[in-house]
Copies of this chain bind each other. A is one copy, B any other.
Amino acid sequence: MDIEVQKRTNSTDNQVSVEETPPSRTEKRAAKTRNKLLNAALAVFSELGVDAATIDLITERADLGKGTFYRHFSDKYDIAGELVEQAIDHLVGRLREMEDDPMASLEDVLEHFLNAHYAFFRHHQDEFVLLFQGRLLLKLERQSTERMEAPFAQYLEEIEAQLTPYLGERKVDLVRVRRLACAVAGFVFGFFSFAMIGMEPEDIATSIKPLRQSFVKSLSLFLTQ
């Protein structure tokens, strides 16, 4: 019934088979369709917001039948969840690019963070907007927001993971790191969000630079004080 269900086919041969079952033609077609839907949905969500979007708009944009949507996703929030996960993966991917550079100073890492976020904001604006909207699912009543919450938590954890080494010998203070992560994430997302009201895209680009310097300095100060 659900397409994502993995075929357990070659489970019968417990031989060397590592290949994970090569996708059949049909499976490939399905995957393509699924991607068309994801792309269309991302576009629609970032233009209109998740709530205002309709299945019709999505499938129309994907040039697919309405029923096809329901073969692949159970509803609007299902596909939105998938997109948020995807976007967070992209963002975390960028954050990791510099990981494991043993020569990097704390300031280098912080600067890298801001750069990575900025690059993400520039090159995946749709995903940025979606993430920001996802954050908006910030409702006091926690409902079934779990699906949405998890990726963000993962994102904060990534930031923490990279910052922890710089905490020095002192006992790792979890709360302190979390604060830092929130500060970074909050600053970046918040800044871009407000920047979209008051500035032209080019101004945003040039604005981020000087702010970055002082922000890096203050965070660094905070962390090591």
Contacts and interface: CB of A to CB of B under 8 A. Distances in A.
A153 interface: yes
A8 to B, nearest CB: 13
Contact count band on A: 35 or more
Q: Counting chain B CB atoms within 10 Å of each CB, which of A1, A48, A51, A193 scores highest?
A: A193
Contact of A47 (B52, B125, B126, B139): B139
A221 B211 CA distance: 10
A138 interface: yes
A103 B206 CA distance: 33
B51 A194 contact: no
A149 interface: yes
Nearest to A126: B140
A141 B48 contact: yes
Nearest to A132: B138
Interface stretch (A11-19, A27-35, A174-182): A174-182
Contacts of A93: none
A73 interface: no
B140 A129 contact: yes
Contact of A139 (B49, B141, B152, B210): B49
A70 to B, nearest CB: 12
A189 B181 CA distance: 14
